[in-house]
Amino acid sequence: MNGWFFALLGALVGAVQAGLLARTVGTHPQPALTLLRLVLVGGVLLLSALAGHLVAGAAGWLTGFAVAGTRAHRRLR
């Protein structure tokens, strides 16, 4: 598979992770959401590593997480 696929998949998972983190702000910690975030990120990074595109997957995740996290932070302020 191409590296761009893992970069896009990583960006999607990063955005989902930031959204799930924004949902838990101000509420009680939910272990199920914590586990879901870890499984999503771990799964994408594992698939990227197995395909030989770990850098693309990690860069995509970081970009998606940073963009969605910034948007969520601005919305919550």
Give whole-number Cα distances, 31 to 17, 34, 35, 38, 55, in Å. Answer: 14, 5, 6, 11, 29
Q: Is residue 1 pLDDT above 80, yes or no? A: no
Higher-confidence position of 68 and 25: 68
Q: To the nearest 5 percent, what fractions of the chain are helix, strand and coil?
A: 85, 0, 15
> pLDDT tens digit string along 7-62?
999 999 999 988 888 888 778 878 888 888 889 899 999 999 999 999 999 999 99
pLDDT given for residue 42 in this prediction: 92
DSSP SS3 for 51: helix
pLDDT given for residue 47 in this prediction: 92
Q: What is the pTM of this model?
A: 0.84
Q: What is the secondary structure of 1-24 as a DSSP string?
A: --HHHHHHHHHHHHHHHHHHHHHT
pLDDT given for residue 58 in this prediction: 93
CA distance 59 to 47: 14
